[in-house]
Chains A and B, each alone.
Chain A
Amino acid sequence: MIARLLWASLWHDRRRKSYAVLNVALGTTLATALLNLSLDIGDKMNQELRGFGANLVVVPRSTDGPLRLGGLDDDPLRKRDGIPLASLPRIKEIFWQHNIVSFAPLLESRAKTKGGDVVTIVGTWFDRAYPVAADDEFRAGIARVYPLWPMSGRWPDDAADPRGTVLGAEVARKLSVGPGDVLPVIPLDGGETVNLAVCGVVRTGADEDERVFVPLEVASLLGRHDDLVDRVLVSALTMPDNDLARRARHARETLATREYDVWYCSPFVDAVAYQIEEVIPGARVKPIRQITESEGVVIRKIQFLMAVVTVVALSCSALGVFSLAGTMIADRKKEIGLCKALGAGNGQVMLMFLAEIALAGLVGGVLGMCLGIGVCEGISQKLFGAWASVKLGTVPVVGLLSIVVSLTGSLIPARLILRVEPSVTLSGE
């Protein structure tokens, strides 16, 4: 009977109920969208920021000292030891292998141009298929690590352009060469001339503008002939540091076993670095921290903002339900009076009314959830050009929110039910 009653009443008063539904739906649309976005934004920002380059750099243990963001060491006297090329696949074998977006080896040397200028040559991979055990579609190279480098011309193709070169903007300006030109260079020790085919010119505003990026094999021709590289840039998806991560950084040995396990199994930048060090003996892995740190701060701020907007939106919904519930009761005084005359207690009538509103709220919530997921995906596409992953956990949360919103909105009007006097509402025309 209750179900029948609820349904009949909902259907009878469907216009107003649909306003209530709409009201709650709008609120929960926003709540769903923002909740999912704020849960997803960490991952998305992370992916986005990976576009700005490496957040880890692998160097030989002996090479210490300050590191510049994406910069290359200028010291010509540094010890020439390095990271064995053969150890690189292991970076994709660590616990967080799927979080390794890409990596690129760097090998530095110098060469002379025809005009006698000395240029710094950096041998690297641009973009090459690098199948590893975990992922046979994996691609490695500097174009993967720095996909957003402002480039005129194009990235060379590792397979098709064996002499393909990317010039730093300053070098290109000094030598007056550009994409499509050929740049002959001679090893400092006077070996054979190598004709570099310039494919692109990059301007980062940093040290890269002074470099000449060539395929690793070409750099070996111009300098060292072993299988060591100076450093490896790694781009990894990491999680913003939390308290645990900060404690682990300053005193890992103080962590309890369980905490250590949690830390090790979380993609904190330090944990990823630590795991790479584990697989490449003699290597030091340094996080390039500015990026991950500011990321955490920004994300927390955005999440706070979203929470505020969500609360405001839900309050507006509750307010809308409040006014609708008020007029609904006023319009249905006769019916309420009748129920009371038939012997319904105040609680019973109130419960029926609240159940009706809660049901409308739930319908609105479900509607809002669907809309919200749509909006969330829309925003995600617009902002990040990727689908947001919808967290299933938000479904019951939003469902509950929609009921809570509709009930808070209707609790005060529901008190009007107490004041309906059947003797008054039922007499009179």
Chain B
Amino acid sequence: MSMVKVTNVVKKYGAVKALDGIDLEIEQGEWVAIMGPSGSGKTTLLNLLGCLDVPTSGSIVVDGQDVARFSANELAAIRRERIGFIFQQFHLVPYLSALENVMLAQHFHSMANIREARGALDAIGMGDRARHKPSQLSGGEQQRVCIARALINDPAILLADEPTGNLDRKNEEVVLDLLRECHAQGRTIVLVTHNPEIARHADTVVVLSHGRLASGGTRGTRRCAASPMVAEPSLTAVGT
């Protein structure tokens, strides 16, 4: 059964068609990488998948419900229950400690639980920095806190928009390892990236161009083999 089914989705910003008829199906436990040039609609698509926004037309079925016509509060409920976000800019609340940032997500989901939150930080190796404010953490550390926050409510889908865009090689590796771990645990991941090295780890690579799926000009889900070894050549094929 598919986790998310996107059918003929169009998203317009005024005259700009950010997405122009997207069809996409994401399976439970699948890792999807979205690639494409700047302005091609990657973030827009991710926002729709994350129920942060609704499409101008088309349907997005999550858990058997079409969220395309959901109200703001209904969308919030879906986000709360099913989705974890990892941002390129981390978006940690500056005046809360790492621990409190994680607890904030718990708070909106159900109830803050300091032991669980601490456990989540320990799991990503940030246990000793729990009391630090974001400004006292390096970029990589902030992103790890962000990941801990995204995972704390055990979301069905993890969405990441260029999670390593602001990180150096070393931290990129750390974040990637964490994502791989999530994938291994069977979590569904959708990740936007410019970096083919990262996309390599995905089961599926989707390439966007001018708001359409670029796959030999045909609409549809571009699917690669599950093994990264096999994925690599097909990815190169996509890139050219």
Contacts and interface: CB of A to CB of B under 8 A. Distances in A.
A344 B106 CA distance: 11
B107 interface: yes
Nearest to B54: A423
Given A343-B80, A421-B52, 13 more contacts: A1-B107, A1-B112, A2-B107, A5-B104, A11-B95, A335-B93, A337-B91, A340-B79, A343-B83, A345-B77, A427-B43, A427-B47, A429-B89
Nearest 8 pairs between A and B by C-beta? A343-B80, A12-B95, A1-B112, A423-B52, A423-B53, A423-B47, A344-B108, A1-B107
A256 interface: no
Nearest to B104: A342
Interface residues of A, number: 30
B75 to A, nearest CB: 9
A338 B108 CA distance: 11
Contacts of B81: 343
Contact of A334 (B91, B107, B109): B91
Nearest to B76: A345
Nearest to A335: B93
Interface of B: 43, 47, 50, 52-53, 72-73, 76-77, 79-81, 83, 85, 87, 89, 91, 93-96, 100, 103-109, 111-112, 149, 161
A338 B91 contact: yes
Which one of A5, A11, A343 has the highest number of Cβ atoms from chain B below 10 Å of its Cβ? A343
A345 B73 contact: yes
Contacts of A327: none
A423 B52 CA distance: 5
A346 B72 contact: yes
A13 B50 CA distance: 30
A343 B73 CA distance: 9
Contacts of A2: 107
Contact of A344 (B76, B93, B95): B76
Nearest to B73: A345
B60 to A, nearest CB: 14
19 contacts: A1-B104, A1-B111, A2-B107, A5-B96, A8-B96, A9-B95, A335-B93, A337-B91, A340-B76, A341-B52, A343-B105, A343-B109, A344-B108, A345-B76, A346-B72, A421-B52, A421-B53, A422-B52, A427-B47
Interface in A322-358: 334-335, 337-348
Interface of A: 1-2, 4-5, 8-9, 11-13, 334-335, 337-348, 418, 421-423, 426-427, 429
B30 to A, nearest CB: 22
A107 to B, nearest CB: 81
B79 to A, nearest CB: 5
Contacts of A335: 93
B156 to A, nearest CB: 13
Given A5-B104, A8-B100, A426-B52, A346 B73 contact: yes
Contacts of B93: 335, 338
- Of B47, B77, B108, chain A has the most CB atoms within 10 Å of the CB of B108
Given A344-B76, A423-B47, A1 B103 contact: yes
Contacts of B108: 339, 342-344, 348
Contacts of B105: 342-343
A389 B138 CA distance: 59
A340 B161 CA distance: 17
